[in-house]
Structure 1
């Protein structure tokens, strides 16, 4: 009789540790798809950086990530869906960089423009991000939907910071930043570290006017 009571108690009232482990395991199972998705995007970014966007195929990403083709298709049913998600992932990282730079800037006037300039010019110092952005920038020229997404990002930021970053000088600085970015992407100019530093400093001065 005691055994039966103990058995019923064990089945109906599991210990706190057991419940914790059960909930924790369920939590990890729920998180697993997000981890797989992130892994696929990281592999796609590495392939783009090393071999160009043409190398980012569903088969290549599946093979390099050790995720089955079916598992890949669950997250990204087409190559375009994968490329769109890769672009969004890079944009999210870019936003994080800009927000971090803005938090460290005490001057409101031109704050977004300075952060944008520094984030763009700083890509050169992060080879992995730089190579990924190089391939995505090239893809922007050929993919209308990516150009539209980038245009919307630019317009949204312009509207968000219209009160502090809409002056003519601020717009000149952002256009100059885009030019520097494009020059780095095409490797069209030999820009020494000292010249780059002087260019950025002069542009930063304009943002405060």
Structure 2
């Protein structure tokens, strides 16, 4: 009898490991490198174990989307709890999260997800829904043109960081963040 039969089952840890491996493979080899065989092999999980969690590649990408947007929602909620000013509160929380993405432990996953958003219509639709849901939820406090502009600018920074198209030193990043926060208060 193999050790696998005696090992304590930890399905959530296995699921998370599969997501992390898929993110790493995507960054190292591009989206084409994320095959079910490659992910199961690199994670040390049987293909059956992988298929138990993610029956296909799209399900794996959906799992990554759910995992990351769930973490983003929790980060935004935490930032909002600490902000006493209602007007622009969601926008400032979003800005804080986007500016932190570069140093975040999930930065690799965000890079993969952003690349997948560009190529996968289903994920783009889910992201549009996430954006629309949050816009609707904070329509009274964050629907001004200034708040929208601040979030668009943050999205541009997110893309520039992903593409490594601009070298923005920390003082310049902090100045941009300060300007965008000021914009959210208008």
Q: Normalized against structure 1, the TM-score is what?
A: 0.79
Unaligned runs of 5+ in 1: 1-27
Higher Cα Rg, which structure: 1
Aligned to 2:11: 33
Aligned to 1:96: 74
| CA distance in structure 1 between the aligned counterparts of 2:165 and 2:17, rounded to whole angstroms | 33
| CA distance in structure 2 between the aligned counterparts of 1:62 and 1:153, rounded to whole angstroms | 29
Aligned to 1:64: 42
For the aligned residues, what is the CA RMSD? 1.7
| 1:46-102 alpha-carbon deviations (Å, 9 max, x no partner) | 333444333222112211222211111122111111111112111111111111111
Q: Normalized against structure 2, the TM-score is what?
A: 0.88
Aligned to 1:175: 152
| 1:24-66 alpha-carbon deviations (Å, 9 max, x no partner) | xxxx86xx33333233223223333444333222112211222
Shift of the alpha carbon at 1:152?
Answer: 0.3
Shift of the alpha carbon at 1:198?
Answer: 0.6
Unaligned runs of 5+ in 2: 1-7
Aligned to 1:144: 121
Partner SS, residue 87 of structure 1? helix
| CA distance in structure 1 between the aligned counterparts of 2:168 and 2:18, rounded to whole angstroms | 35
Change (3 A) 1:50 1:132: farther
